[in-house]
Structure 1
Amino acid sequence: MTNADDAGDVGVLRSKRNATRYRILTQIAERQPAVSQREVADAIGVTSQAVSDYLKDLIDQDYVEKHGRGRYEVTNEGVDWLMSRTDELREFVDHVATDVIEEVDIDTALATAPITTGETVSRTMREGVMCATPGGTGNATAVAVTDAEAGEDVGITEFAGVLDYDLGMVTVLSVPQIQDGGSAALDPETIADAAADHDLVATAGTEALAAARAADVDPDIRFGTATAVREAATKGLDVCLLAVADQLSAHTGELRDGNVSYEVVDTAT
Structure 2
Amino acid sequence: MNGEDGRDVAVLRNKRDASRYQILVAIAARQPAVSQQEIANAVGVTAQAVSEYVRELVESGAVEKHGRGRYEVTKEGVDWLISRTEDLRAFTEFVTEEVIGQVDADTAIADGALDPGDQVTLAMNDGVLHATPGEEGGATARALTAAETGEDVGVAEFEGLLDYETGQVTVVVLPDVREGGSRAVSPDEVASLADDHDLLATAGVEALAAARRADRDPDVRFGTAQAVQEAATRGLSVLLLVGPRALAAHTDRLREGSVGYELVDAR
**TM value normalised by structure 2:** 0.62
Superposition map of 1:1-269 within 5 A: 11=10, 101=100, 104-223=103-222, 225-268=224-267
Deviation at 1:176, TM superposition (A): 1.6
The alpha-carbon deviation at position 256 of structure 1 amounts to 0.4
Residue identity matched to 1:142? A
Q: Is the 8 A contact 2:207 2:241 kept in 1?
A: yes
Change (3 A) 1:125 1:10: closer
Aligned partners of 2:174 and 2:182 also within 8 Å = yes
Per-residue deviation, 1:180: 2.0
**The residue matched to 1:160 in structure 2 has which SS?**
strand
Q: Secondary structure at the match of 1:221?
A: coil
Shift of 1:217: 1.2
- Note if contact 1:173-1:241 (Cα within 8 Å) is conserved in structure 2: yes
- Comparing 197-206 with 176-185, which one deviates more in the overlay? 176-185
CA contact (8 A) 2:102 2:157 kept: no
The Cα RMSD (Å) is 2.7
- Looking at structure 1, the residues matched to 191 and 266 of structure 2 have their Cα atoms a distance apart, in angstroms, of 11
Partner of 1:25: none
Q: Distance in 2 between matches of 1:133 and 1:232?
A: 22
Tell me the TM-score normalised to structure 1 length. Answer: 0.62
Q: Which runs of 5+ in 1 are unaligned?
A: 1-7, 15-91
Q: Any conservation in 2 of the 1:118–1:145 contact (CA below 8 Å)?
A: yes
The answer for unaligned runs of 5 or more in structure 2 is 1-6, 14-90
- Structure 1 residues 224 and 208: alpha-carbon distance in aligned structure 2, compared to 1, 3 A threshold: farther
Contact (CA 8 Å) 1:203, 1:224: kept in 2 or not? no
State how many pairs are aligned: 181
**Does the 8 Å contact 1:123/1:133 carry over to 2?**
yes
- Structure 1 position 179, deviation (Å): 2.2
Equivalent pair of 1:190/1:267 in contact (CA under 8 Å):
no
**Cα distance in structure 1, aligned partners of 2:210 and 2:136:** 46
Q: Alignment partner of 1:115: what SS?
A: coil
**One-letter code of the match for 2:203?**
A
Taking the aligned partners of 2:102 and 2:249, their CA distance within structure 1 comes to 31
Please tell me the residue identity of whatever aligns with 2:183: A
Distance 1:102 1:245 in 2: 44
Contact persistence 2:121–2:137 (CA under 8 A): yes
Q: Report the alpha carbon displacement of residue 12 of structure 1 after superposing the two structures with TM.
A: 11
CA offsets 1:56-75 (integer angstroms, 9 cap, x no match) = xxxxxxxxxxxxxxxxxxxx
Q: Which amino acid aligns with 2:106?
A: D
* Deviation at residue 188 of structure 1 after TM alignment: 1.0
Residues 13 and 246 of structure 1: is their aligned pair in 2 closer, same or farther, counting only changes over 3 Å? Answer: closer
Q: Do 1:212 and 1:218's aligned partners in 2 also have CA atoms closer than 8 Å?
A: yes
Moved more, 223-232 or 207-216: 223-232
Larger radius of gyration: 1
Note the C-alpha offset of 1:105. 2.3
Letter in 2 for 1:258: G
The whole-number CA distance in structure 2 between the counterparts of 1:172 and 1:12 is 53
Q: Check 1:266–1:11 CA distance in 2 against 1; reply closer, same or farther (3 A cut).
A: closer
Deviation track 1:184-236 (CA, whole Å, cap 9, x = no partner) reads 22211111111111111111111101100101112111225211100000111
